[in-house]
């Protein structure tokens, strides 16, 4: 099973590509521009842009992990064009290509933007709409909605119960990367949506 | 049949409210803040905000015209929150309230954002997503996709063929207002999508 990673130049995407490659799993990194670190790994790279026609990048791919995001440095227009519209068109392309599983890295707040943090409500709306599009597409999905992302190393401990306290809604990027990979290998995660934070359960007990 | 106008303080919305009122049709203007001109007309006003809970505004309404927009002066975050998310939540509210027709003032370009003007692609995406949500809702809709809006008076002449030349893709706001009202009164416009520019046909021949 070949996995295409969208957002491979991002922090989580980079870890996913690297970890899959280390395990000997066929992995393809979709990139907008050359990336020495990923090229040095020796993984297959396909140049494509979510804002352009990227259908060529999906050829021969069985699984997709979407962890792309326009990031906090660009405006809300890019949130629309990349995080929402790019994801929607990727779902269409995945359906057309017969992709067997689409793992979406979503966000806390996407389940109910009106009751989430006001400062990022526009972002939560875009993520929700992309998630809903995937849900309705007929493509097998797994949607992860992590809390605030930390740069610490993997803890290996998870919980799918989002804590009420905002400060406790946290998870390391490496744990998210591990969770994405776990989803690909575990049919029980098909067509499920998981809030995800660090906690005290292993993946085998939390993503059920 | 009572009509609720969303975006009643806008240029098109204001004309719709005024014209419906002149004809003796029951009309309710949804407003975020007091508006001396609309209040002087003597129409019913309901204060509500598309970014908040506005469900109270729909009580007793049979028809809705959505002509709200965050406008060019605010950022793309407001395009997300008002033009797209506000419209989506209004569709939900209309469905719940049993509204019989929802006339959406959309925009040229919304049918295919990838092939429309790049400068407003993020806007076209948001309009398309709102339109698609209405289409799938089960609520009777009429979607108008006018060209570039002009402030000249009504011409009374229409075409539903969008010209290839961008400069010819124009229509006066008053003609759009008249088209919205015509849609409410004409069952043949139910569940139709019309590109709309000024042309040489009357409404009776163009919106069929």
pLDDT digits (tens, 9 = 90+) for A75-125: 999 999 999 999 999 999 999 999 999 999 999 999 999 998 899 999 999
Test A125 with B76 for CB contact under 8 angstroms: no
Which residues on neighbouring strands pair with residue B66, listed in sequence order? B6, B104
- Distance (Å, whole) CA B50 – CA A75: 22
Q: Which of A25-34, A64-73, A155-164, B60-69 has the least mean pLDDT?
A: A64-73
DSSP code per residue over A69-128: ---TTS-HHHIIIIIIHHHHHHHHHHHHHT-SEEEEE--TTTT-GGGS-GGGHHHHHHHH
Q: Give the one of B76, B113, B121 whose C-beta lies nearest to A76's C-beta.
A: B76
Which residues on neighbouring strands pair with residue A171, listed in sequence order? A149
Q: What is the pLDDT of residues B114-130, one digit of tens each?
A: 998 899 999 999 999 99
**pLDDT for res A143:** 98
The bridge status of strand A141-146 relative to strand B101-105 is: unpaired
- Distance (Å, whole) CA A121 – CA A142: 23
Contacts of B75 in chain A (CB under 8 A): 75-76
- Distance (Å, whole) CA A55 – CA A13: 19
Q: What is the pLDDT of residues B165-182, one digit of tens each?
A: 989 999 999 999 999 999
Positive or negative CA dihedral for B73, B74, B78, B80? positive
Contacts of A70 in chain B (CB under 8 A): none
**pLDDT for res B2:** 98
What is the pLDDT of chain B when averaged over all its residues?
Answer: 97
**pLDDT for res A72:** 80
Residue whose C-alpha is closest to residue B97's, from B51, B72, B62: B62
- Catalytic residue numbers of A read 123
What pTM value is reported for the model?
Answer: 0.95
* For residue A199, pLDDT beyond 90: yes
- Distance (Å, whole) CA A181 – CA B95: 40
**pLDDT for res A62:** 98
Angle between helices A121-137 and A85-97 (to 10 degrees): 10
- Distance (Å, whole) CA B141 – CA B31: 22
Number of DSSP helices (H) and strands (E) in chain A, helices first: 7, 10
Q: Rounded to a whole number, what is the distance in Å from the CA of B81 to chain A's nearest CA?
A: 6
- Distance (Å, whole) CA B206 – CA B208: 6
CB A112 within 8 A of CB A74: no
Best mutation target among B129, B131, B136 (most A Cβ atoms within 10 Å) is B129
Test A81 with B126 for CB contact under 8 angstroms: no
**pLDDT for res B107:** 95
- Between A and B, how many residue pairs show a Cβ–Cβ distance under 8 A? 41
Q: Rounded to a whole number, what is the distance in Å from the CA of A34 to chain B's nearest CA?
A: 25
Maximum CA extent, chain B: 44
What is the residue whose two structure tokens read 């163009």? Answer: B206
Test B125 with A76 for CB contact under 8 angstroms: no
Query: A82 CB contacts (<8 Å, ≥6 apart)?
Result: A50, A51, A68, A69, A70
- Distance (Å, whole) CA B143 – CA A53: 28
CA contacts within 13 A on the Cβ side of B84: 29
Q: Rounded to a whole number, what is the distance in Å from the CA of B15 to chain A's nearest CA?
A: 30
Q: What is the pLDDT of residues A16-61, one digit of tens each?
A: 999 999 999 999 999 999 999 999 999 999 999 999 999 999 999 9
The dihedrals phi and psi of B136, each to the nearest 5 degrees, come to -85, -5
Q: What is the pLDDT of residues B76-124, one digit of tens each?
A: 999 999 999 999 999 999 999 999 999 999 999 999 999 988 999 999 9
Q: Give the one of A80, A125, A129 whose C-beta lies nearest to B122's C-beta.
A: A80
Best mutation target among B84, B122, B123 (most A Cβ atoms within 10 Å) is B122
Contacts of B76 in chain A (CB under 8 A): 75-77, 79-80, 122
Task: Retrieve residue A115's tokens.
Answer: 């009751």
CB B139 within 8 A of CB B99: yes
**pLDDT for res B71:** 84
Test B80 with A125 for CB contact under 8 angstroms: yes
Residue whose C-alpha is closest to residue A158's, from A181, A185, A173, A179: A179
Task: Retrieve residue B47's tokens.
Answer: 């204060």
Q: Give the one of A75, A78, A80 whose C-beta lies nearest to B126's C-beta.
A: A80
Q: Give the one of A76, A81, A84 whose C-beta lies nearest to B77's C-beta.
A: A76
Q: Could you give the C-alpha distances from A186 to A67, A124, A207, in angstroms and in order?
A: 19, 27, 9
The answer to whether B123 is a known catalytic residue is yes
The H-assigned helical ranges of chain B are 11-22, 36-41, 76-78, 85-97, 121-137, 173-184, 203-206
CB A171 within 8 A of CB A146: yes
**pLDDT for res A30:** 98
CB A145 within 8 A of CB A111: yes
- Distance (Å, whole) CA B106 – CA B123: 10
Q: Give the one of B81, B125, B129 whose C-beta lies nearest to A122's C-beta.
A: B81
**pLDDT for res A113:** 97
**pLDDT for res A24:** 97
Contacts of A121 in chain B (CB under 8 A): 81
Test A84 with B121 for CB contact under 8 angstroms: no
CATH domain B3-145+173-184 topology:
Rossmann fold (3.40.50)
Contacts of B121 in chain A (CB under 8 A): 81
């Amino acid at each position: 099973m070949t996995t295409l990673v969208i957002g491979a130049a991002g922090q989580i995407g980079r870890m996913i590509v690297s970890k899959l490659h280390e395990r000997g799993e066929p992995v393809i990194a979709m990139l907008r521009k050359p990336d020495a670190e990923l090229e040095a790994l020796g993984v297959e790279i396909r140049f494509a842009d979510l804002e352009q026609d990227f259908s060529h990048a999906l050829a021969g791919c069985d699984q997709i992990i979407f962890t792309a995001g326009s990031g906090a440095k660009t405006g809300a227009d890019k949130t629309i064009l990349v995080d929402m519209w790019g994801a929607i068109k990727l779902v269409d392309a995945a359906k057309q290509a017969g992709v067997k599983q689409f793992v979406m890295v979503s966000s806390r707040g996407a389940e109910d933007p009106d009751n989430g943090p006001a400062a990022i409500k526009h972002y939560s709306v875009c993520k929700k709409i992309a998630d809903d599009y995937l849900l309705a597409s007929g493509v097998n999905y797994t949607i992860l909605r992590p809390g605030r992302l930390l740069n610490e190393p993997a803890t290996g401990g998870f919980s799918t119960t989002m804590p009420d306290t905002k400060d406790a809604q946290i998870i390391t990027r490496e744990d998210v990367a591990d969770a994405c990979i776990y989803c690909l290998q575990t049919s029980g995660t098909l067509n499920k949506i998981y809030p995800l934070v660090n906690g005290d359960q292993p993946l085998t007990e939390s993503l059920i």
